[in-house]
Structure formats: structure tokens, C-alpha cells
Structure 1
Amino acid sequence: MAVAPRLVALAEQMLGAAVPVRIRAWDGSEAGPPGTEGGPVVVVRSRRALRRLLYKPGEIGLARAWVAGEVDVEGDLYEVLGALAPLVWERADEGLAAPSGRRRLAAVREFAALAGPGLPPPPPREEVRQRRGGPLHSLRRDRRAISHHYDVGNDFYRLVLGPSLVYSCAVWDDKTASLEEAQAAKLDLICRKLDLREGQRLLDVGCGWGSLVLHAARHYGVHATGITLSGEQAALARRRIAEEGLEERVEIRVQDYRETGDGPYDAISSVGMAEHVGADRYREYAARLYGLLRPGGRLLNHQIARRPAPGGERGEKAYHVDAFIDAYVFPDGELAPVGRTVSLLEEAGFEVRDVEALREHYALTLREWVRNLEERQTEAAGLTTPGRARVWRLYMAASALAFERARIGVNQILAVRMTPQGSSGLPLRTRDWITPI
């Protein structure tokens, strides 16, 4: 019997729902529900993919097969992910009916027969195959986690992100013509929210390749310090600063926020960094930034959030770790609802003055990054590894859908360290930064 119909039947049996896409197997056979002819196809290139799933069922087994190129998609990746996502999310949130007892045993035997004899292939080299060493979110472990994600080649990131080298969501409007314009608008929005002025001191926590500190020094005349744990990021950021002749205004350090103690700063930005902090350390993170800021100074915390589970969650249960992202993308990254983040900032002493949701903006940004990657796949694979290029394509495309469907969000939180007299230093109507100065 042809392989593809057997795979479709097994998948439907295990999921307890119809498989909404076509599947092509290594023997050339193809099967799928009516109405999917001519659409995108999930290609299972090898029995090795099934052996991975047999020994590691679920997200990690599928991820390993995808990264190794044993499972692929012909056609629109978004269409396939969009069709499969509800099944994945429903199983995670509510649980789908699955076979039990004899039916389950029969399905496993059928799957094992299709997979063939042999041990599971080793995980792709792009996977974090051992814990990073040391307690969760210790200095040593965080450095290794950051290196895994960011030290994969500056040229690769330039290809994906574009010339701006900004690795966080851009800000779009109806007049925005390009990703570069949208990223410049985001950088300027942050500077206006922080009310940056000539001669002020700005600390950028998790500065990446230096785009924000460069923008702030160039256009607002500040003295900026950027900190990162990535040596590759720091090296390129320093070259960019030297090329613009801004060495006297901008400094880049390879340094953890817990090692920074040269305050007070007039303003602090933290853009796309707090997701790495984690539940165990978030109070420490918030308190450290509060201590580094002068009274009357502002903090702009730009952070991805997840939607809370129905009924609410407390403490560390409010944080979420995705298995695929933890193994291949952001080791030890954790997402929490925005309300949890606001509460912890307030507990540290900050007064939260504004929260702006940018969820749809991140979806638009991710689609641009995926387009860059898909248009130059061969070059991207050559700049890093084929497996890592596949990781980034899947992670960014799936994340775009998650933002579009409100599974996750991203928010800019503006907070202030009030003076002893209770002054925030903000205008009575805080949204005056919407119109560029």
C-alpha cells in the first residue's frame, strides 16, 4: 500500500481530527482531504522523520525532522502553518480526543512499521543538546544562551533583518513604504517616548548591533551606552559607531545588566531583551534598572507577551517556555502576560505611565524578515548552516501567525522613576510623542 494514505490515516487517528493539508511521502505517493488538490504539500522525505517522531513524539520530534530537511513544505508555508496551527493550539489549550488502549497500541505499531527498524537519528547540530550549565538565568548560563542565538553570523542577520539591523518589531502606518522606514520610525518613537535631550545619558539594555544608540546619538545628541552579551554584536556595533565618528558619544560593552553599576542614567531602553530575563530574575531586573535611573528618568521596556490562560495564573506559572523555541531559537526564553510585567515594574518602584500594544506591527515585521530569508535561502544557508536557516524560517513564519491570531503580543511600557516629591516629569497628556518633534 502507498505510504501517504497510511500517514494521513495515522495522523488523523492520533490527532482526533482531520488533517487539513496534503502529504507526500518518500515513495512518491500523495494523499489529503478533498479540496486540497493543487495546494501546498507537506513532504515527508525519509523514514528517518518517522523514527524521530516515534522516539520523541510531538513538537521536538517534528522540529528535528524539519531542521534536518526530512520534512519540508512545497508551496506557501503560511498556508500550511495556518491550517495546522488550530490543531496544535487546541491540543495545547484544551486537549483533542486521542486514541487510547488497543486503538492507540495499533496506531503505534503501524507507525513503527512505517518508520522501519533502527535507532532515532541524532538531533541536528543546531539544537541545544545539553543544558547551558549553571542555574537557570545565572550569568554563565545566560551568556551561553545569548551566544547560541545571536553569535551565528552578523552577515546572516544583516540578510534577514535588512540594513537597519534591528531585531525587534518595526512601527508601521499606511504611508510606510519599506521595512527600513518602519524600523527608523520605531527607533525614533522610542527616543521621543524617553524625551531624549542633548547631553543626556542613555543606557540601552540588550543593544544588539547598536542601531538604537546610534540613532539616539545622531539625532538627539545623547551620550549612549549599549550593553549586550553577544561578542559578535558588540564587534559590529563598535565598527558602525566608528564609521559614523561617534566614539566620543557612544560606548558598547559586553556586559550583563546585573554587572552594570555606573548610573544614574537619564533614560533607559530595553528592547526585546526582557524575554531573556525569566521568572526567577524579573524582580532583580526591574530593581536593577530602577536603581540605575535618576529620579524623574524614564524607562522604555519593549517586550513580547503571551495571552494569559483562562482563569488567570500566578507567580512563575504565568511564564511560558515553548519547546521548539527553547531547543532551537531562544534557550531559556520565557514569556509572561503584560499585566504580570506591569506589576513587577510597579513593585520595583516604577510608575507605569503608558502601555502601547504593537501586536499587528510585529506580524508585519516578521513577514518582511521571512520574505528576505525566502528570497535568498541559498545565500542564508551558506552564511550560517542550512539547518539554522530552516529554523529561522519556521520560527519567524510561525511567530507571524501567532501575532496575527493574538496568541502572543508585544508592548512598549513607558515607566518613570518619580522624584521624592512625586513628580514624573511627564506632560499632562502623555501621548504627545505620537507626532514626531
Structure 2
Amino acid sequence: MKPVKKLLTFKVWAEDPSASMVNMLRSIFDQFDGHLQIQLWDGQRVNLGMQAPPVNGSPFVLIFHTSAILESFLKRKDPLTFAESYFKCEMDIEGDLAALLALREQFNRLHFDWRLKGRALIDQLIKQVRQPISFRPFQLTHLATAKAVLTHSRNESKRSIQFHYDVSNEFYALWLDPRMVYSCAYFLTETQDLASAQTAKLDLICRKLQLTRGDAFLDVGCGWGALILHAARYYGVKAHGVTLSSQQYDYAQQQIRKAGLVGRVSVELQDYRDIPGEAQYNKIASVGMFEHVGIKNLAAYFQTIRHLLTSDGLFLNHGITSDTKGWPNNLGHTFVNRYVFPDGQLETISHIQTLMELAEFEIIDVQSMRRHYVLTLKNWISQLVNQHEHALKHVSEATFRIWLSYMTASRLSFENGHLGLYQILVGHRASDHMKQPLTRDYMSVKSPTRPAILQF
């Protein structure tokens, strides 16, 4: 983050507050299995944690602009206090954000047992009026946190989707590809550009579903409409998408009119549970949506999809999974639900497949795309950082920092295997009409170029 150049002076009186604060910091981090370097408001740098400082120096420094960070931490007993201080610009990170986030689970081990002593120290500092101290300034910025999601009801789901996706279309356009695809791309090489990799992903989904002219295609959670537009333009399907984001809905409608596909492509502001009809679609996709359903609702979600799918139809589910069953309470999950995805919950790939089979789906194909998400996130992060100044015209500094932190932490989780990304292709079990090719050759995307546009 760019440092604030102008210096202000806040009159805070104490005899030797820095020494007392250093003692408190050492107590807080005495069980932290790693190394941190913190710079206090007076410029003093402190090494913390159980490990010695790296020989080549710390890859990052936490810069505290105010003692209020520690006071808030002591009061709330919440490790995410430090994250909030960063979002609100009370603290800056100098250096490698990824190196800091790689230690994120260690923040669960911060030491709280001495909190009464810490409060006493702060009270003592307030009483010891001696001389003024100059603080580096910080810019307070609004921090939006999400309401808790309890049951993933229709109202909760709508509120949660709008919390994340209705931030600003202009903000997302700064770092997504030109067609606003907000899901894992499909890279044919590690150096491929993001736009063509997203085109390859859309084409991969269409090939797996064997889309052909006249198919009735449904995209559950269609985002800004890239897949339904691609499927109609290049494969001749009649496509319908649903979303709970009003900004995505408005954007998709504009793109449909711009492409001249009114009558062949439609989008609706609708919950997946309210999609009418039975056996209405012979091809269905859900891309990056089932993470919002809620683990307890996944069985009903797959039953809903099955109800909408024709007996000879195909369904492709593209989504993120976890290496831990049941979305347990931990620091990372709390962060995601509080600041990013209020309704987000992930399950293991094995449990997802079990639920699909219990819904009487036959699993036809499973493909891991974890490496592809690492490359996707690297592209998004790079573009977001490069567009920092432009982003602040559409969102607050807090929102920018939250998205940067979230995507950086996600990249690390995909790299170490804690998160996965799978495309699962299924159909009705024992369907007499489901004649799948004998090999996977038909799925291959051999070129990043788009297929020819169909003429009507």
C-alpha cells in the first residue's frame, strides 16, 4: 500500500508507552509459531514470535499507526482485529502480503490469558501523563461486515449475494476479463492470457455438456451472463440464466441486447429454488454457485437440479471444495463469512459426489482444476493491484484491501491443496437415452481461439 506522506501530531501523554506496548506485544505473540516484525507509531521496530528473524530480513513489516489496535484487540479478544485494522488503514503492510497470509492460521494461537494485566498496563499509561508523542497518521475508512447467515433462507441468500456481487460492476471490470467471468479459467499453458483462458473454460463446459443447436440450457447462478451468451452464440442453444445479484442481472440484460440475442438468451432475478417446471432443460450448468447453497441444503439443491433436468440430460457442476469436511469454525472461515461471502460454505469432493449419487445422479466425469485456479487468481491479483487508484473511484480502500487479502489467501490455499476446484459431469442414473462417447476426446479444447459463430 502507498504510505501516507503527510504527518500529523496526536497529543497522547505517557511516560514510556513504547516500552509497555512492546511488552504487551511480546506477551500476545509468545506462542506464535513464526516470525513477525512490527513497526510502532514512533518508528521503533520489534521482532515477535517463536522463530528468529530471517537472515535476509523479514519479508514483511506490520506498521502500526496507533495504539488503538492493541486496545481493540484486548477488548475483543479476536485475532481478526488485526485484519480489520489493516482494512481500516490503522495498520499497513510493507512488503509481501502473501508471506504474512501464509502464517494466518498461527493467529489462532495469540495469547489472551494475560488480558487483565494488559488492561491494567493501558490504564497505567493513561495515568502517567508526562510528554506528547507523535503518531503517523492513518486514514479511517468505512468497513462493511456481513450479517450472519443461519439457515441460507431465500432472504439470507439474496442479501448475501448482493453483499458480495453488488459491490460495483465497474470495480469487477477492472480486474476480470472483458466478459466478466468470475470463476476459475482453463489454461492451456501457464503463460496464456486470462481472457483466452476464460474463453477456453466456457468452451470446455459447452463441450462437456455436448451442447448442440436447439438444446434448452440453464445456467444456475449465471453471474454477468458470459456462459449463456457463449453457449447461444457458438453452440446454438436457447439459454436461460438466473442470478440473485441485481447488478449482474442489469449487466447481463444489456449484453444480451448488445449481442442481438434477445429471444434466444434470457436472464431472471431468481432463487434457484423458485425455478418453475419439471424436466424443462436437457443441459444444466452451475459454475461457482453451489458454494453459496449451504452444506445442509446441498442434498435439496441436487434434487432441485435433477427435477429440472430431462431424463436424457446432462448437468455440470463447477465449484470449489475443501480438504476439511463440514466447514468447521476457524479463523479463515470466519474471515470469509464476515467480510467476503456471508453464505459461503465448502465441502469435500468425496461428500459432494456422495450427495450427487444419493440424488440418483450417475457421475460421468470428474476433473480437478486446482492448478488453473492458482493461475486465475494470480492474474486477478496482478490486475487488481495495478488498478488500485482506479478501484478507489468505485469502492473504499477497505473493500480494496479485503478483496486483495481474500484473493491472496485463496491463492495460497489452492497452492497448498486446502482448497480444490472440480468440474463434475453427471446424468440421470441408468438412462436409456444417455449415450456417452467412449472417450474424453470430445471434451478437448485444443486452441484458445473461439469456435465459429453459428448463423441463424
Whole-angstrom CA distance in 2 between matches of 1:342 and 1:12: 46
Task: Give yes or no for contact 1:200–1:223 (8 Å, CA) kept in 2.
Answer: yes
Residue 307 (structure 1) aligns with: 323
Instruction: Indicate the larger mover: 233-242 or 105-114.
Output: 105-114
Whole-angstrom CA distance in 1 between matches of 2:316 and 2:235: 16
Say if 1:2 and 1:369 are closer, same or farther in 2 by CA, change over 3 A: farther
Q: 1:155 corresponds to which letter in structure 2?
A: E
Say how many residue pairs are matched.
414
- Spell out, residue by residue over 1:263-285, the C-alpha distance to the aligned partner (whole angstroms, 9 max, x if none): 42111100000000002211111
Whole-angstrom CA distance in 1 between matches of 2:192 and 2:125: 50
Say if 1:231 and 1:114 are closer, same or farther in 2 by CA, change over 3 A: farther
Residue 42 of structure 1 aligns to a residue in which SS? strand
Task: Give yes or no for contact 2:175–2:384 (8 Å, CA) kept in 1.
Answer: yes
Say if 1:361 and 1:116 are closer, same or farther in 2 by CA, change over 3 A: farther
Residue 268 (structure 1) aligns with: 284
Residue 372 (structure 2) aligns with: 361
Say if 1:319 and 1:429 are closer, same or farther in 2 by CA, change over 3 A: farther
Residue 345 (structure 1) aligns with: 356
Say if 1:365 and 1:31 are closer, same or farther in 2 by CA, change over 3 A: same
Task: Give yes or no for contact 1:24–1:43 (8 Å, CA) kept in 2.
Answer: yes
Matched, 1:397 2:408: yes
Say if 1:165 and 1:12 are closer, same or farther in 2 by CA, change over 3 A: farther
Q: 2:223 corresponds to which letter in structure 1?
A: G
Q: 1:354 corresponds to which letter in structure 2?
A: D
Matched, 1:236 2:246: no
Say if 1:390 and 1:13 are closer, same or farther in 2 by CA, change over 3 A: closer
Residue 297 (structure 2) aligns with: 281
Q: CA deviation at 1:231?
A: 0.7
Give matches, 1:4-23, under 5 Å.
6-7=21-22, 10-11=25-26, 14-17=29-32, 19-23=34-38
Task: Give yes or no for contact 1:346–1:352 (8 Å, CA) kept in 2.
Answer: yes
Selected match of 2:41 from 12, 26, 43 = 26
Q: CA deviation at 1:63?
A: 2.7
Q: CA deviation at 1:250?
A: 0.4
Whole-angstrom CA distance in 2 between matches of 1:111 and 1:225: 60
The gaps in structure 2 that reach 5 residues or longer are 1-15, 48-52, 129-139, 452-456
Selected match of 2:157 from 124, 142, 145 = 142
Matched, 1:76 2:92: no
How high is the sequence identity, in percent, across the aligned residues? 36
Cα-Cα RMSD: 2.9
Task: Give yes or no for contact 1:207–1:228 (8 Å, CA) kept in 2.
Answer: yes
**Displaced runs of 4 or more, over 6 A:** 111-117, 317-321
Question: Bigger radius of gyration, 1 or 2?
Answer: 2
Matched, 1:424 2:444: no
Q: 2:69 corresponds to which letter in structure 1?
A: A
Q: CA deviation at 1:175?
A: 6.4
Work out which structure has the larger RCO, using CA pairs closer than 8 Å and 6 or more positions apart in sequence. Answer: 2
Q: 2:75 corresponds to which letter in structure 1?
A: Y
Whole-angstrom CA distance in 2 between matches of 1:71 and 1:354: 47
- Spell out, residue by residue over 1:204-228, the C-alpha distance to the aligned partner (whole angstroms, 9 max, x if none): 0000000011111111111000100
The gaps in structure 1 that reach 5 residues or longer are none
Residue 56 (structure 1) aligns with: 76
Task: Give yes or no for contact 1:48–1:115 (8 Å, CA) kept in 2.
Answer: no
Residue 172 (structure 2) aligns with: 157
Residue 87 (structure 1) aligns with: 106
Say if 1:238 and 1:30 are closer, same or farther in 2 by CA, change over 3 A: same
- Spell out, residue by residue over 1:150-196, the C-alpha distance to the aligned partner (whole angstroms, 9 max, x if none): 11110101112131201111111326531111111111111111110
Residue 126 (structure 1) aligns with: 144
Whole-angstrom CA distance in 2 between matches of 1:8 and 1:192: 61
Instruction: Indicate the larger mover: 62-71 or 143-152.
Output: 62-71
Q: CA deviation at 1:125?
A: 3.6
Whole-angstrom CA distance in 1 between matches of 2:401 and 2:390: 12
Residue 223 of structure 2 aligns to a residue in which SS? coil
Q: What TM-score, normalized by structure 2, do the two folds share?
A: 0.83
Task: Give yes or no for contact 1:64–1:124 (8 Å, CA) kept in 2.
Answer: no
Q: CA deviation at 1:127?
A: 1.0
Whole-angstrom CA distance in 2 between matches of 1:359 and 1:45: 38
Say if 1:318 and 1:100 are closer, same or farther in 2 by CA, change over 3 A: closer
Q: CA deviation at 1:38?
A: 6.7
Would you tell me which structure has more helix in proportion to its own residues?
1
Task: Give yes or no for contact 1:154–1:232 (8 Å, CA) kept in 2.
Answer: yes
Task: Give yes or no for contact 1:270–1:300 (8 Å, CA) kept in 2.
Answer: yes
Instruction: Indicate the larger mover: 2-11 or 227-236.
Output: 2-11
Q: 1:301 corresponds to which letter in structure 2?
A: N
Residue 392 of structure 2 aligns to a residue in which SS? helix
Q: 2:205 corresponds to which letter in structure 1?
A: I
Whole-angstrom CA distance in 1 between matches of 2:125 and 2:389: 32
Q: 2:383 corresponds to which letter in structure 1?
A: N
Q: What TM-score, normalized by structure 1, do the two folds share?
A: 0.86
- Spell out, residue by residue over 1:312-350, the C-alpha distance to the aligned partner (whole angstroms, 9 max, x if none): x5xx56798811111110002111111111111111111
Selected match of 2:189 from 174, 180, 205 = 174
Q: CA deviation at 1:110?
A: 5.1
Say if 1:81 and 1:116 are closer, same or farther in 2 by CA, change over 3 A: farther
Say if 1:247 and 1:354 are closer, same or farther in 2 by CA, change over 3 A: same
Q: CA deviation at 1:51?
A: 2.6
- Spell out, residue by residue over 1:384-434, the C-alpha distance to the aligned partner (whole angstroms, 9 max, x if none): 22211111011011111111111111111111124654x532112245312
Residue 398 of structure 1 aligns to a residue in which SS? helix
Q: CA deviation at 1:354?
A: 1.3
Residue 47 (structure 1) aligns with: 67
Residue 175 of structure 2 aligns to a residue in which SS? helix
Say if 1:65 and 1:51 are closer, same or farther in 2 by CA, change over 3 A: same
Q: CA deviation at 1:115?
A: 10
Task: Give yes or no for contact 1:22–1:36 (8 Å, CA) kept in 2.
Answer: no
- Spell out, residue by residue over 1:121-171, the C-alpha distance to the aligned partner (whole angstroms, 9 max, x if none): x9954112x446xx5111111100111011111010111213120111111
